[in-house]
């Protein structure tokens, strides 16, 4: 008589994650052991801005190639501004590259304008000399008279080259005078570009008097500032600050006023250093003093 063999009971499948693995969160309950990865920043615009700004600034110094800087400069400025906005939104972390690219883009555009002016002036002089040469050849016997050597423009020097107090004036040897009033603190508006949280905002009023005999191009009058730590700070865009940049030509005996606003961090709001020149061939005039 045979003994019946009991068949093994079928095993139920084991559900669940493999050993050592933590299941994903269910119904909004977080699963322990899982950590989010580091945030990924998109720094492409800021990097592109600093590269284009550097290239355009270098090209602007090359004779005959200033027009390339006029193409690359605006691109660097636009990419820098957009990159800075991404930094403010937390989408990027290369603030210095974005701001540096925007500044270099603006500088290269200014240099491109200088290159255009110099080129046009040289062409006009060449055409004028050619006409005078043809007239002289008809009236007199032809003779070769070499042109007088052209001298490079000299820098306009300051009568007082050291930094002065706010409220005082700097005068150049050609008679151009710049006066910078003491910075005044104000409450910025709700929409401000270039102002970090916790910064204090200050307005600076500038007066330029053209005491020279030549017209002065104020498009090149760009201010620079540093805080008590020696850190470069750049003017902010704020409609409430009533920003009035210098623009256009200033004739002999005329006067122009400009107003700029600057951010200063709370820990560096002790001293303020300010510098300005009115053209490519003017030395920087400097002011320094405490902040209220």
Q: What are the percentages of helix, strand and coil residues in the chain, rounded to 5?
A: 35, 20, 45
> Coil, helix or strand for 264?
strand
Could you tell me which residues come within 8 angstroms of residue 290 by beta carbon, excluding any fewer than 6 positions away? 270, 271, 272
Q: Can you tell me the distance from the alpha carbon of 180 to that of 94, in angstroms, rounded to the nearest whole number? A: 33
Q: Lowest-pLDDT range, 5-9, 47-51, 113-117, 239-243?
A: 5-9
Q: Give me the residue label for tokens 């909004």.
A: 28
Does residue 156 surpass a pLDDT of 50?
yes
Crossing angle between the packed helical segments 44-60 and 66-89, to the nearest 10 degrees = 160
Give pLDDT, residue 23: 55
Q: Is the pTM of this model over 0.85?
A: no
Tens digits of per-residue pLDDT, 77-134? 888 788 778 887 777 777 777 788 778 878 878 877 887 787 788 788 778 787 776 7
Give pLDDT, residue 20: 56
Number of H helices, E strands in the chain: 3, 11
Using pLDDT thresholds of 50, 70 and 90, give the confidence band for residue 169: very high
What integer is the mean pLDDT of 256-279?
A: 89
């Amino acid at each position: 008589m045979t003994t019946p063999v009991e068949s093994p009971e079928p095993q139920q499948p084991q559900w669940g994650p493999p050993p050592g693995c933590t299941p994903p969160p269910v119904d909004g309950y977080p699963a322990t052991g899982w950590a989010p990865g580091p945030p990924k920043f998109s720094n492409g615009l800021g990097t592109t801005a600093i590269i284009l700004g550097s290239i355009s600034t270098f090209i602007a110094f090359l004779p005959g190639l200033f027009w390339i800087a006029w193409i690359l400069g605006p691109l660097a400025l636009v990419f820098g501004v957009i990159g800075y906005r991404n930094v403010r939104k937390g989408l990027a972390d290369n603030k210095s590259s974005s701001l540096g690219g925007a500044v270099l883009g603006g500088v290269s555009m200014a240099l491109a304008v200088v290159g255009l002016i110099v080129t046009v002036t040289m062409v006009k002089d060449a055409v004028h000399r050619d006409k005078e040469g043809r007239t002289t050849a008809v009236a007199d016997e032809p003779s070769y008279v070499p042109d007088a050597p052209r001298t490079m423009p000299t820098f306009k020097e300051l009568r007082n080259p050291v930094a002065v107090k706010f409220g005082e004036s700097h005068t150049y040897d050609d008679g151009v005078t710049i006066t910078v009033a003491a910075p005044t603190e104000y409450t910025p508006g709700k929409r401000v570009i270039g102002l970090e949280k916790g910064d204090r905002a200050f307005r600076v009023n500038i007066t330029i008097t053209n005491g020279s005999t030549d017209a002065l191009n104020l498009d090149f009058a760009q201010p620079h500032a540093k805080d008590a730590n020696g850190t470069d700070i750049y003017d902010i865009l704020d409609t409430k600050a009533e920003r009035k940049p210098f623009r256009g030509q200033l004739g002999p005996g005329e006067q122009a006023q400009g107003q700029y606003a600057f951010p200063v961090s709370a820990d560096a709001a002790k001293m303020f250093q300010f510098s300005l020149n009115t053209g490519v061939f003017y030395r920087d005039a400097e002011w320094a003093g405490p902040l209220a």
